[in-house]
Structure 1
Amino acid sequence: MSATHTFLERVTVTIDGHVAHVLLDRAGKMNALDDAMFEAIIATGHYLHNARGVRCVVLSGAGRSFCAGLDLSGMADAGRLNEGDDLIDRTHGNANRPQQAAMVWRKLAMPVIAAIHGVCFGGGLQVASGADIRFVAPDARLAVMEVKWGLVPDMAGYALWRGNVRDDVLRELTYTHREFTGNEAVALGFATHVSADPLADAMKLAQEIAGKSPTALRSAKLLSNRTPDMDVDQVLMAESKAQHELLFSKNQIEAVRAGMEKRDPEFVDP
């Protein structure tokens, strides 16, 4: 049983079983980020937040690229530059609107996997970085592009790259906006796996993840999100509290029974 939803003619979501495939669907513009794309990405994330039964999300781009970054045609109108003042406003919890387009994937309760091919520049790289796991084509072209246009990465990149990308490497790539390949992206910390077919591999992993206890997955993601900012004592307590909530819960008991009986588990979605 599958269902498809479209948001502002920019993003298409197909839910099949327990996996949601989110497609940035502006292929003619290499899925560049304009106002409608920002709104559509955020609306998609909020929709998935409330979508019962979705246990894993795959994020990809239509056409020949994942996302070319900011649609610069929107900056041709100098009068719009004053809109930058709005960036200070926290319109989405701890984030402004552009930041939420990347952070919404990290804030989702379920794991998110990005499949990167073609071009993945600037804001596109930051959107992909919001995912938990990233598959990237070996010949993909990536870049921290913002300084080229007199800007800085400001779509949560610094928060999302922290712990993955070495500080001196990030500084060099930001200052120079040098392009790097998918192969390099894994070595540099921007991606998880190199893949000849990122979308197929992302979907395969998503199906595997979707077969796990959804409550355990959500708890594990929450721990992964929270613990980097905690001290050791706080981490230990967070682990204990999460485990206390899971032990002897319906899904935890089902996971054990299914494993012992060598059958597929039948989990209840939160």
Structure 2
Amino acid sequence: MDCVLCEVSDGVADVRLNRPDQLNALNDAMFAQLIAVGERLLDEPGLRAVVLSGAGRAFCAGLDFTAFRAQADAEPWRPEAVAQADGQETPAAPRDDFGVPGLVLPRGQKAVWVWQALEVPVIAAVHGFALGGGLQIALGADIRLVSADARLGVLEMDWGLTPDMCGTQILPRLVGLDVAKELALTARKVTGEEAVRIGLATRVCPDPRAEALAMANTIARRNSDAVRAAKSLLNRAWDAEAMKAGFRAERDFMERNVGSPLQREAVRTRLESMKRP
């Protein structure tokens, strides 16, 4: 089964995370297919807008638990690390920078930043859970439509981690530095309604996916040159060099931190707490 579905109709790409039985948790295949779909859309002729959503009961519940269990046991958990442990070579992705020249992005950052690398608007439709890496994928979109009862959270601290999928750079630009720190340091979950109040989401909708598709089709009827220019010009408000340095710092800390004694202990503690009634 494909972990990511993509259909393009009338210039609108309908992209759906498709592991509904696992609340669309991120595993190796999901990362690979998210990046592959994003790369494909970079070259999609006539593309005018993208809708990013999740099948089933959630947008994305974050990293698959198999990765956390591997971290707790000090086992390789990333595809490149597994391949190296087996003595295999992992081929480089066809595109490494995804619009961040001079910096090779790791797969987590690619899975988020590819949506910003697209010249057309990307609208995330969030329902159920958008947690940890799942929230960071939604942060890669230009607009986030959420259900009122959605649950969003920066949960990495629960696992002894920091956000490493562009979250440390995008989050404070949306909610402000102090709120970004509160969310990242406490791992507090917020509802869709609170997410809109603090700037984490754009608007509450009864049916985020239907609203996102309607918005995408409206945008698709606009002057496509003007739409692309508007996204590019608005994104220039971000300091590109500062963001590049932040991406590099995210990657470097993640490489040092994962598998460290403190991080492994945090994962074991979290896994044990989840077993309790």
Cα distance in 2 between the residues matched to 1:42 and 1:225: 21
Q: Secondary structure at the match of 1:186?
A: helix
Q: Secondary structure at the match of 1:164?
A: helix
Cα distance in 1 between the residues matched to 2:149 and 2:129: 9
Q: Which letter does structure 2 place at the counterpart of 1:37?
A: M
Q: Secondary structure at the match of 2:174?
A: coil
Q: Highest relative contact order (Cα 8 Å, sep 6+), 1 or 2?
A: 2
Equivalences, count:
221
Residue among 36, 47, 58 paired with 2:29: 36
Residue 21 of structure 1: aligned partner: 14
Residue among 75, 81, 96 paired with 1:79: 75
Residue among 210, 216, 223 paired with 1:206: 216
Residue 156 of structure 2: aligned partner: 146
Structure with the greater alpha carbon radius of gyration: 1
Q: Secondary structure at the match of 1:155?
A: coil
Aligned-pair CA distance for 1:228: 2.4
Residue among 167, 184, 194 paired with 2:194: 184
Aligned-pair CA distance for 1:81: 5.5
TM-score, L = length of structure 1: 0.77
2:102 is the counterpart of 1:92: no
Cα distance in 2 between the residues matched to 1:158 and 1:226: 18
Cα distance in 2 between the residues matched to 1:206 and 1:176: 34
Cα distance in 2 between the residues matched to 1:229 and 1:49: 23
2:129 is the counterpart of 1:136: no
Aligned-pair CA distance for 1:75: 3.1
> Deviations along 1:151-206, whole A, 9 cap, x unmatched?
00010012222321111111111111011100000111110000111011111110
> Deviations along 1:49-75, whole A, 9 cap, x unmatched?
110011000000000000001112123
Residue among 35, 45, 49 paired with 2:38: 45
> Deviations along 1:112-132, whole A, 9 cap, x unmatched?
000000011000000001000
TM-score, L = length of structure 2: 0.76
Moved runs in structure 1, 4+ residues, more than 4 A? Answer: none
> Is the Cα–Cα contact under 8 Å of residues 122 and 143 in structure 2 kept in the other structure?
yes
Residue 105 of structure 1: aligned partner: 115
Residue among 50, 69, 79 paired with 2:62: 69
Taking structure 1 as reference, are residues 81 and 53 closer, same or farther at Cα in structure 2, changes over 3 Å only? closer
- Which ranges in structure 1 are unaligned for 5 or more consecutive residues? 1-7, 231-270
